[in-house]
Amino acid sequence: LLYFQTDTLKHGLPSDKFATFVSILVLMEVTLRQDKYNELHLGCQVFSYLFVCFFQSLF
């Protein structure tokens, strides 16, 4: 828990926004696992990577 808090502080993410972001990623992952099309799955992986980069650039 201490490591998690230190890592969060290092990235400068408030705990509530970070928890919301993790929830979004989990929801996206569940959606991807239910997807039956590999091409769309790969496209969503690329999108999620770009989304993470965009989110990190906001802070």
Domain around 17: 2-57
Give the predicted TM-score (pTM) of the model: 0.34
pLDDT tens for 8-23 read 445 555 567 777 777 7
Residue 50 C-beta-side C-alpha neighbours within 13 Å: 6
CA distance 59 to 53: 11
pLDDT tens for 40-55 read 666 667 777 777 877 7
Name the domain count of the chain: 1
